[in-house]
Chain A
């Protein structure tokens, strides 16, 4: 079964690895219909998490100062 992680914290690397795993499992011709549905649901969630996190936030800018001795 797919590894369940808290999606808010899941790293991009982990998300992609999990997607690849799902894809591999789905390529198995003998996959059960219920499992297929379950895996596709999980894959959809992962794709959404990744896309939302990258696209949703607006560009943010902050400034930090040089250390005193370098100014």
Chain B
């Protein structure tokens, strides 16, 4: 042993009595500090942004309350005991809020030091939901104003939705109920959709950044027709991710139409507001896409039906025209035949009038000169000539005695009978 060691030994072996008298145990000190804190800061209100949140199975909730002054951070660890949380739940539910990362809160409670860890913290006893909601509304207005100023606010709504959006990029938490509901609707449609999934966190730290990146990524895929952003129901503060500028902006500038299906009970998020089509639930979102495709199918079917109708009408018209023509032809033929028959009958009657046999029966006769020619004029015959007269039942041979012209009364030897 050296002198030094002796000295050291002395120091520890001879405690100074006046220090020992006033010393407190660790727990005593912590209790004293807590008593002081309670006296000075009992039930104070404090506001800040919710940072990291952890919710173990015990039912207690632990979160960081953060004040960020341009990068200079001040943090208090807040403890929300299970009992207090139960008491506050109905109040928070009524205002559609929950304690989630990224929202601003005003809470009441008492600072304390936790004996088991020595950590300084804050025991939360109450919350002012109106502060949170007012902040969300103000933040929301601010983001919308910013997007409008940048000229991107309604950009996605002006993208063109393909007639048949078969390729869908899906941004959601893989395996969630929202994901299952969406896929079930697509499957049941029987349509051959092509889904590209990008798995993201939809709430909590980093969720907004992931959702925004996924929207951008899927929007850039050449084979993606539409991007669907879906998430199951939750409180308004639960859905804070979809009220962030980074997500709203990613949707607004996405080159493909974005369909949202973010479960909301009451309000729409900024994501919904800037999206091409917003739908209340993931199922409704899938239905909207299915309906677009079915609309096309119906359009094609209706065109096919109209074409079939035109063809049927054309065929019916042709058949009717042919039937009409045949009918007209029949009528025409009958009429023509009848007309021809009666004309022939008429002609026969007329012709019969010219038959010499008939005329002779009435008393007319024909006289031939000796050379066999029909005697038509007194000038063709002289007295003493022999003539032959044909009557209905035979011939008479005569000799001309005299002729007389009926025009001049010129005396000429006449035959002994009348000429026709």
Contact = CB atoms under 8 A, between A and B. Distances in A.
Contact of A67 (B191, B213, B296, B300): B213
A49 to B, nearest CB: 10
Interface stretch (B262-270, B305-313, B398-406): B305-313
B299 interface: yes
B192 A67 contact: no
Interface size range of chain B in the complex: 35 or more
A40 B308 CA distance: 8
Contact of A59 (B192, B199, B293, B307): B192
Contacts of B300: 15-16, 19, 46-47, 50-51
B166 interface: yes
Contacts of B218: 64
Nearest to B218: A64
Interface residues of A, number: 37
B198 to A, nearest CB: 5
A60 B193 contact: yes
Given A63-B198, A70-B213, A40 B307 contact: yes
B303 A19 contact: yes
Contact of A54 (B164, B186, B307): B164
Given A16-B299, A26-B310, A59 B198 contact: no
Contacts of A63: 174, 196-199
11 contacts: A19-B307, A20-B303, A31-B314, A43-B304, A47-B303, A50-B300, A54-B296, A59-B183, A59-B191, A59-B193, A71-B210
Closest 5 CB pairs of A and B: A57-B192, A70-B213, A26-B310, A19-B303, A47-B304
Interface of B: 162-164, 166, 174, 183, 186-187, 190-200, 209-210, 212-214, 217-218, 221, 293, 296-297, 299-301, 303-304, 306-307, 310-311, 314, 318
